[in-house]
């Protein structure tokens, strides 16, 4: 799949899943829910202040079709009940609405009813950038602050799994640093090289990895040609693995707020089910794309 619209079209032909949405009392969130129900992507259970939900729905002429409302006394309760509905099998996907990420993740990680597994939780942004005729996967710019090499390995495996679920059978992975050579004074370059070696040792499979690699050489064929980088990942990367959260966060926000016609979707990998997680500042289009992305995940 090469566009987010294609993801939506494919998701329309999948059996409907049910999304447990915590704290949807927001125009952009409910607009995305409305669009998703019109496209018959999925059904929703909405956990939160039902009065506010109904008021906002009326303002956007949304009849709350295919939605079940569950009244909760506060945001924490809404997150608890949404997570419980997924862990019990009443819903297939968890989605964050207008609530701090830390509040909902606390419930996701609860030992009694949460969605934790033995895997690391990591966030993947799926970007559609006008210059490229392919989707770009970016991880992790939202959750893991300063991942160890072992954590980067698991972050990479999560991103590869997502790419493969979108029919990219052998994704090309670029481990991002500022240079292409190992420099002990630049820890990211060392991390990236260790991740690259894991493919040779079969610790990471079903992908090609190159690292360290600067962002221009990862994405642009002409830049790779100019610098005589002959690795097949150079200029063709599908997945960008960043060494620190600041790098991924800055890349994503720079693209979204500094460029025209950029589209995106966001999802958390590594839990018992997909978790739709976007910024509260993201548009309803980004939230809709993320919903469609979750529908395509096989869990």
Mind listing the domains of the chain with CATH numbers? 4-117+271-295 (3.40.50.10950), 122-258 (3.40.718.10)
CA distance linking residue 168 with residue 244, whole number of Å = 25
pLDDT tens digits for range 152-208: 999 999 999 999 999 999 999 999 999 999 999 999 999 999 999 998 889 999 999
Residues 6 or more apart whose Cβ sits within 8 Å of residue 16: 40, 41, 42, 43
CA-to-CA distance for 93 and 273, rounded, in angstroms? Answer: 6
Structural contact between residues 115 and 275, judged by C-beta atoms closer than 8 angstroms? yes
User: Cβ of 254: how many Cβ atoms within 10 Å?
Assistant: 11
The tally of CA atoms less than 13 A away on the side-chain side of residue 200 is 7
**Smallest Cα–Cα separation from 232: which of 189, 173, 156?**
173
pLDDT tens for 254-299 read 999 899 999 999 999 999 999 999 988 789 999 999 999 999 987 7
Tens-digit pLDDT profile for residues 104-158: 999 999 999 999 998 999 999 999 999 999 999 999 999 999 999 999 999 999 9
| Sign of the dihedral through C-alpha 29, 1, 230, 198 | positive
Distance from chain centroid for Cα 16: 20
215 with 240: CB under 8 angstroms?
yes
- Element containing residue 284 per DSSP (H, E): helix 284-295
User: In whole angstroms, what is the distance from residue 229 CA to residue 48 CA?
Assistant: 52
């Amino acid at each position: 799949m090469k566009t987010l619209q294609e993801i939506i079209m494919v998701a329309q032909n999948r059996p409907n899943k049910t999304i447990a949405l915590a704290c949807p009392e927001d125009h952009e969130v409910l607009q995305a829910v409305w669009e998703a129900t019109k496209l018959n992507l999925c059904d929703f259970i909405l956990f939160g202040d039902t009065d506010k939900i109904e008021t906002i729905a009326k303002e956007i002429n949304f009849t709350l079709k295919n939605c079940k409302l569950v009244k909760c006394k506060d945001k924490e309760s809404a997150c608890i009940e949404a997570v419980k509905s997924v862990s019990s099998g009443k819903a297939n996907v968890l989605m964050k609405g207008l609530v701090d990420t830390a509040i909902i993740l606390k419930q996701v990680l609860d030992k009694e009813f949460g969605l934790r597994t033995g895997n690391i939780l990591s966030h993947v942004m799926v970007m559609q950038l006008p210059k490229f005729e392919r989707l770009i996967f970016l991880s992790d710019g939202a959750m893991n602050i300063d991942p160890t090499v072992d954590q980067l390995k698991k972050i990479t495996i999560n991103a590869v799994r997502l790419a493969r679920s979108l029919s990219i059978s052998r994704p090309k992975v670029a481990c991002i640093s500022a240079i292409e050579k190992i420099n002990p004074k630049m820890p990211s370059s060392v991390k990236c090289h260790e991740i690259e070696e894991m493919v040779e040792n079969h610790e990471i499979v079903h992908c090609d990895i190159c690292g360290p690699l600067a962002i221009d050489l990862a994405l642009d064929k002409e830049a790779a040609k100019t610098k005589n980088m002959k690795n097949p990942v150079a200029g063709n990367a599908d997945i960008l693995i960043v060494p620190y959260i600041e790098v991924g966060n800055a890349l994503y926000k720079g693209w979204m707020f500094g460029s025209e016609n950029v589209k995106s979707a966001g999802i958390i990998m590594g839990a018992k089910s997909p978790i739709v997680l976007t910024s509260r500042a993201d548009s309803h289009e980004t939230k809709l794309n993320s919903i469609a992305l979750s529908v395509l995940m096989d869990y």
